[in-house]
């Protein structure tokens, strides 16, 4: 997952909105948005990495949410012992046993994973935290974070936040564009129109011959030389009754921007959590 923006405001008419694009190698096998069960029993709602078995953005029982992006490294890092998607699955799997994220994190050594950003949330407990296993000041010197067990972390306040492949709220153009889009969508009272406005931002393709500039500027990524790009878009909305509505659009990875209009869409809704509490 390479671009996420969300707004958490527990007292608002729409307490939570999430908009995200997942960028991945075209050849990486992936399962679409669906309900499925983790080892140990809890049901989750997400897409799924069919190679390593984890996820990148997923909702679980007890009001749990986990969101993951990679931290860019060049040259690419050698494969680490554990898949980063395991972090998402683990937070959701252990919801019934652990409400203390530092204790949970102690079982996940930072050196076991390639560079990543991880957002852990427990809406029923009012917990929101951002973590990364790469020094965020090397990516954005303005970022302040504490450190524990090899992870840098910061509690998240209500409001709009964005993540791409740098540190939290690093103002890459595409992250700023999507964060602004989330803020603007809140003025739209109709959930269908709100969804359409966010999808339009997620599908914005900014061409640039420089791949680095393209990856930082364009919400919708197309890098055919590397057989890499945006594989899916997602918009989720949580209402005041605790009902979560999620839509995912999956793209033909080889079709490029011309294939955007014909993306396959899947929708799901669930009573996810009671009235959210404040962070």
pLDDT at 70: 96
Backbone φ, ψ for residue 208 (5° rounding):
-160, 130
pTM for the model stands at 0.95
In sign, the C-alpha dihedral spanning 31, 33, 36, 40 is positive
- Residue 192: enclosing H or E segment and its boundaries? helix 191-202
> With bands split at pLDDT 50, 70 and 90, how would you rate the model's confidence at 279?
very low
The whole-number average pLDDT for the span 193-206 is: 98
> With bands split at pLDDT 50, 70 and 90, how would you rate the model's confidence at 230?
very high
Domains, the chain, ranges and CATH?
Answer: 3-271 (3.60.60)
Percent of the chain with pLDDT over 70: 96
Bridge partners of 269? 245
7 φ/ψ sector (left φ>0, alpha ψ -120 to 50, else beta): beta
pLDDT tens string 73-101 = 878 889 999 999 999 999 998 876 666 89
pLDDT at 1: 61
Cβ(130)–Cβ(170) under 8 Å? no
């Amino acid at each position: 997952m390479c671009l996420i923006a969300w707004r958490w405001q527990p007292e608002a008419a729409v307490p939570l909105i999430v908009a995200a694009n997942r960028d991945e190698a075209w050849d990486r096998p992936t399962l679409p948005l669906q309900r499925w069960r983790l080892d140990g029993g809890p049901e989750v709602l997400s897409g799924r990495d069919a190679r390593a078995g984890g996820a990148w953005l997923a909702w679980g029982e007890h009001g749990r949410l986990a969101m993951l992006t990679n931290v860019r490294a060049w040259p690419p890092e050698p494969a680490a012992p554990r898949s980063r998607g395991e972090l998402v699955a683990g937070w959701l799997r252990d919801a019934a046993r652990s409400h203390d994220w530092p204790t949970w994190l102690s079982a996940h050594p930072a050196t076991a994973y390639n560079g990543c950003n991880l957002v852990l949330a427990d809406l029923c407990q009012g917990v929101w935290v951002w973590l990364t296993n790469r020094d965020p000041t090397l990516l954005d010197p303005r970022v302040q974070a504490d450190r524990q067990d090899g992870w840098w972390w910061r509690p998240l306040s209500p409001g709009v936040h964005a993540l791409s492949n740098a540190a939290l709220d690093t103002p890459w153009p595409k992250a700023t564009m999507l964060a602004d889009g989330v803020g603007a969508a809140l003025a739209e009272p109709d959930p269908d129109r709100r969804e359409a406005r966010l999808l339009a931002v997620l599908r914005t393709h900014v061409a640039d011959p420089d791949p680095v500039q393209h990856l930082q500027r364009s919400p919708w990524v197309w890098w055919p030389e590397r057989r890499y790009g945006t594989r899916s878009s997602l918009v989720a909305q949580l209402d005041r009754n605790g009902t979560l509505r999620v839509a995912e659009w999956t793209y033909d990875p080889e079709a490029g921007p011309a294939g955007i209009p014909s993306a396959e869409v899947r929708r799901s809704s669930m009573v996810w959590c009671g009235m959210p509490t404040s962070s």
